[in-house]
Structure 1
């Protein structure tokens, strides 16, 4: 599906005219990058927005800035460390009442090799497992809203790797930061496919997206990215597709899909050499229902382990 918006659209343009008064939203990683602009757009439309962040001081500064720019005082800041199962469970356990919008925005990119106390690859844990556990923990609140939406922020980097189920945590193959990142971003799309299949009956729709190329703190481990063909976006433009999926009536009832530049992405049979085509494409393995089911079962098993 297409929309009137595109790669240059901003979050403010996408949400213009939409009233979210009475709605409640959670945005993870809302203390930096496109998370700030996603939260700002939702708050500007009248939603109560919870900034789920690791750094509470940074979150408080962002909340004050959003209130100053939107006039909305219904901003909350809550602690969330997606690499810590206890932190994720605590966030979900204290949530009270319905939840209309969950934007799984937080992420890490191209980290040096690192593992959680469980021995899991840190990128896979933060980008996928933490958000998977969060969504499951908030499922009751999302179902109670009646027509909730989950937004899973992925990346064109999912084209770098499928989910390698036989070696999720690089126990048997050399660790490569961008391959690990790509695998976690594929998992973000498969989560949307799997959750849509399971939760549509609860009125919950789930979609994934690539925000495009934005120069933010996310890329601090990558170095100086030089890509002449890349049309870099501002954070406000990078947040546009997230906000479209979170709030636009154009997406009512639409789920299990992957979007880029405010439109449904084009399937590609192989990774494009052309950077622009890569940014707008989606790999078939990322939308595979069997892969989504396998990831769901694997994720449940991991989170249930000691």
Structure 2
């Protein structure tokens, strides 16, 4: 049975966290220097959480942190250097982390690079950054998440996953022609599978993992696509776009829910065919398939260890 919340696509991050007290909780948000990441950080900090902005540019992150401290009245907003496209940076971050971690929001990402690039382990850059980087980060923080005795891992995927499964026989476009949107879609499917397998492996330790589509929001992510292609009815403000991330990170309503894919602050139905356009709701069956999730986890382990 699908999970239904009292919220919908118009709900904002502030609304879905209203009345939730996160005092004593610690959160890490990747890509928190702009857009959805910043709004997610603001909402969690406003609820009392100690928040770490994990960003590529700590100088810019320091400015964001100062603004958020003023807006929320919460002094416990920190900045740490993290580039999820760089395995050394990820290792440095996870090695430096001490104490429990209650919330990890895998929010950073790249989209539709016009030319084929390669990253971690020689893998295609979307797959390397969006999936492998967050896999390595999540794995590296596993003990801290387990020590929280009740943690959430939230991974920001996309409805774009509906346009491509993970092609295990050619993950890196060595034989098939490179296509920016197919590469992006494959990486977003991989991110859903990260949530599925992390939840299967770690739920007994009190770690629940879910993935989500935030909606179409005008952020820097679309800079290579010539603007949003999503129909107007599916577009959202940043405050609305961050709502599902914040809900999965903090709401008591989903404390026992894991391994699922959400959008519009509700669990998404499985769809049986590829959509005709962008922004169509639903989750592909291949993105929730446990065999795919386990296989992909093993591929990632062989790369990052």
Structure-2-length-normalised TM-score: 0.97
For 1:282, what is the secondary structure of its paired residue?
coil
Q: What does residue 90 of structure 1 align with?
A: 92
CA RMSD of aligned residues (A): 1.1
Q: What residue is the counterpart of 1:132 in the other structure?
A: 135
Q: Is the 8 A contact 2:58 2:81 kept in 1?
A: yes
Aligned mate of 1:240, from 239, 243, 246: 243
Decide which of 249, 259, 264 is 2:262's aligned counterpart. 259
Please tell me whether the aligned partners of residues 156 and 282 of structure 1 are also in contact (alpha carbons under 8 angstroms).
yes
Quote the Cα distance in structure 2 between the aligned partners of 1:272 and 1:232.
17
Tell me which residue corresponds to 1:214: 217
Secondary structure at 1:199 match in 2: helix
Contact 1:229 1:275 in 2 (8 A): no
State the match for 1:13 in structure 2: 15
Contact 2:11 2:243 in 1 (8 A): yes
Establish whether residue 150 from structure 1 lines up as the match of residue 173 from structure 2: no
- 1:58-93 Cα shifts (integer Å, max 9, x gaps): 111110111111000101100001111111011000
SS at match of 2:174: coil
Q: CA deviation at 1:117?
A: 6.4
Partner of 1:121: 124
Deviations 1:122-176 (A, max 9, x none): 1111100000000100000000000000001100000010001111111111110
Measure the CA separation in 1 of the matches of 2:44 and 2:230: 31
Partner of 1:286: 287
Consecutive unaligned residues in structure 1, runs of 5 or more: none
Q: Retained in 2: the 8 A contact 1:213–1:230?
A: no
The CA distance in 2 between the partners of 1:128 and 1:227, in whole Å, is: 23
Q: Secondary structure at the match of 1:118?
A: helix
Moved more, 15-24 or 226-235: 226-235
Residue 205 of structure 1, aligned match among 203, 208, 212 = 208
State the 1:200 CA deviation: 0.7
Q: Secondary structure at the match of 2:246?
A: helix
Shift of 1:118: 3.5
Instruction: Determine the C-alpha separation between the residues in 1 that align with 2:142 and 2:197.
Output: 14
What is the aligned partner in structure 1 of residue 226 from structure 2? 223
How far 1:266 moved relative to its partner?
A: 1.0
Q: 1:186 corresponds to which residue?
A: 189
Q: Tell me, what secondary structure is at the counterpart of 1:149?
A: strand
Farther off after superposition, 196-205 or 117-126: 117-126
> How far, CA to CA, are the matches of 2:300 and 2:258 in structure 1?
21
Provide Cα deviations, 1:18-46, integer angstroms capped at 9, x if missing partner: 00000000000000110000000000000
SS for the counterpart of 2:200 is helix
> What residue number does 1:64 align with?
66
SS of residue paired to 1:214: coil
**2:75 corresponds to:** 73
- How many Å apart are 1:231 and its aligned residue? 3.2
Q: TM-score, normalised by structure 1?
A: 0.96
Instruction: Provide closer, same or farther for how the CA distance between residues 49 and 270 of structure 1 changes in structure 2, counting only shifts above 3 A.
Output: same
1:124–1:183 Cα contact (<8 Å) kept: yes
1:119 shift after superposition: 2.0
Q: CA deviation at 1:15?
A: 0.5
